[in-house]
Structure 1
Amino acid sequence: MTSLSAHHVGVTVRDLEEILPFYRDVLDLSVADRFRVGGEAFSDAVGVGDARGEFVHLEADGIRLELVEYDPAARATPAGGLNQPGVAHVGLDVPDLEAFANGLPDDVETLSEPRTTESGTSILFLRDPEGNLIEILES
């Protein structure tokens, strides 16, 4: 099995501009990166039709916290979608996403095959046996 390393912990929020000051100013986390991702590969990977996301990565003493606001928001998808506020996921990094995906047991639920987004990052979302979301990425 491919070795994993921690990449980020992600939280979906309703309004990134509204909540960012709390994390940045109240919790004193520094903004490490800010970017947008959309397109067919991203939509397929997250299982949300026509999805676009605005992301902020914050640094918290060696832990990267990812805040993401989705368009379309939760109203457009069934329960359990990544674009619902409050949904959390853990991001794990692998050196070879295709090899990792090919090594998964057949009974592991994935949201899609590995996809390379317009930001150049290859991602794969899967669910643990209790339905919790895990993002595997090759950055």
Structure 2
Amino acid sequence: MTDLSVHHVGVTVADLDRAVQFYDETLGLSVLDRFSVSGENFATAVGVAGATGRFAHLDGGDVRVELVEYDPEGEAVGDLMVDRPGATHLGLTVEDVDAFYEGLPSEVETLSEPQTTESGSRILFVRDPEGNLVELLEATS
């Protein structure tokens, strides 16, 4: 078996430009690359007839964050909450969750104010413009 390592974490969005603006300006993840992919092999690989994708790769440190906008666009998933089987979220570390929270633009939706968990981690969940969950984490280790 070959050795595996994480290359990227993907987030599907309806409006790539709006998502890139949020992840860059609000979360500070700089754009590494933008590109489009289409063709029969791509459509077959993603299992969507006639699919094309517009992509942005963002600098997430050791792992890229991949934002992708598909055409044709599929049906949006329901209310995104962390307790639903199959739910996903992106976890990003920050030095000071409280300072990050205080600096958020007023239009950014949060699930609560920063909280300290039983493990000692300080966390904050926000929603990107698409409603996807992003956890900001001040880890204890």
* TM-score normalised by length of structure 2: 0.52
Q: Taking every aligned residue pair, what percent have the same amino acid on both sides?
A: 55
Letter in 1 for 2:37: V
1:21-40 correspondence runs (5 A): 21-40=21-40
Deviations 1:60-109 (A, max 9, x none): 2222000000000004xxx8xxxxxxx86xxxxxxxxxxxxxxxxxxxxx
Counterpart position of 2:16: 16
* Contact 2:19–2:67, Cα closer than 8 Å, also in 1: no
Moved more, 32-41 or 2-11: 2-11
Counterpart position of 1:66: 66
SS at match of 2:6: strand
Ranked by relative contact order (alpha carbons within 8 Å, sequence separation 6 or more), the top structure is 1
SS at match of 1:5: coil
Moved more, 54-63 or 41-50: 54-63
Structure that is richer in strand per residue:
1
1:1-139 correspondence runs (5 A): 1-75=1-75
Kindly report structure 1 stretches of 4+ aligned residues shifted beyond 2 Å. none
Letter in 2 for 1:28: G
Cα separation, 2, equivalents of 1:45 and 1:61: 27
Residue 20 of structure 1, CA deviation: 1.2
Q: Structure 2, unaligned stretches of length 5 or more?
A: 78-86, 89-141
Cα separation, 2, equivalents of 1:19 and 1:56: 9
Look at both structures and tell me which one has the larger radius of gyration over its CA atoms. Answer: 2
Residue 22 of structure 1, CA deviation: 0.6
* TM-score normalised by length of structure 1: 0.53
SS at match of 2:21: helix
* Contact 2:58–2:66, Cα closer than 8 Å, also in 1: yes
